[in-house]
Chains A and B, each alone.
Chain A
């Protein structure tokens, strides 16, 4: 089955700096890669996703890049703000009509220092 590795497990940045979180996956059939943000006491919320036919996707201060050859994808947050502090999870899912199961990384706790 799919295996997703996520690094780093914790990340501290100064407000205004950029943050980068990286994930690798094992199943070359995976073609959908979402990122979730989980604030304390809440469920994960989707913040951005990318499919394998796209190399990069951006939404305001958040961007995700995908390298299918190397089987890794990254989340980039620019101009970080204190409200970006949360746990971020990457995930991967293979293609196919019967494929529905997301495999998650173990999460990165991001702390933005004012």
Chain B
């Protein structure tokens, strides 16, 4: 079946511009996660959505980062006024329910801020 999809696969932007990254989770998965992976580093948790509950935004690094999830499915991660240190791979994952721990990852969006 279809896995987690993300778009765009690559994004190059200029410092100061806003970017939007999209995630389509596996159909029926209620939990959705965003992570950031900097070069040579592990995965840094950013934000978590579960159904209609308020999201856990505790991992967002600054108020320039925001995310929403519409209709309990597609999610968009927005970075405003991008900085060079925002350059990274942004990964989205989903799981059937949060108590089912297996998270399935998308291929990621590679963001480069010039």
Give residues in A with beta carbon < 8 Å to B.
4, 6, 32, 34, 36, 41-46, 49, 89, 93, 97, 100-107
User: Nearest Cβ in chain A — how far from B1, in angstroms?
Assistant: 15
Q: How far is the CA of A25 from the CA of B107 in the complex (A)?
A: 27
Q: A44-B105, A100-B99 are in contact. List 15 more A-B contacts (CB 8 A).
A: A34-B101, A36-B105, A41-B107, A43-B93, A44-B91, A89-B42, A89-B43, A100-B48, A100-B98, A101-B56, A102-B45, A102-B101, A102-B103, A106-B40, A106-B41
Q: A46 — nearest CB in chain B belongs to which residue? A: B102
- Is B31 positioned at the interface, with any CB of A under 8 Å from its CB? yes
User: Nearest Cβ in chain A — how far from B80, in angstroms?
Assistant: 25
Q: Which of A44, A49, A102 has the most CB of B within 10 A?
A: A44
Q: Is the Cβ of A100 less than 8 Å from the Cβ of B105?
A: no
> CB-CB < 8 A to A101: which residues of B?
45, 48, 56
Q: A98 — nearest CB in chain B belongs to which residue? A: B98
User: Nearest Cβ in chain B — how far from A7, in angstroms?
Assistant: 13
Q: How far is the CA of A41 from the CA of B108 in the complex (A)?
A: 8
Of the residues A36, A43, A104, contact of B106 by C-beta under 8 Å: A43
Q: Is the Cβ of A106 less than 8 Å from the Cβ of B42?
A: yes
Of the residues B4, B33, B43, B104, contact of A46 by C-beta under 8 Å: B104
Q: How far is the CA of A43 from the CA of B93 in the complex (A)?
A: 9
- Is B50 positioned at the interface, with any CB of A under 8 Å from its CB? yes
Q: How far is the CA of A69 from the CA of B99 in the complex (A)?
A: 24
12 A–B contacts, CB within 8 A, in A order: A6-B42, A36-B105, A43-B105, A97-B99, A100-B48, A100-B50, A100-B95, A103-B45, A104-B43, A106-B41, A107-B40, A107-B42
User: Nearest Cβ in chain A — how far from B72, in angstroms?
Assistant: 16
Q: B92 — nearest CB in chain A belongs to which residue? A: A43
Please provide the 6 A-B residue pairs with the shortest distance between their CB atoms, ordered closest to farther.
Answer: A43-B105, A100-B98, A104-B42, A106-B42, A104-B43, A43-B107
Q: How far is the CA of A93 from the CA of B93 in the complex (A)?
A: 15
> CB-CB < 8 A to B106: which residues of A?
43
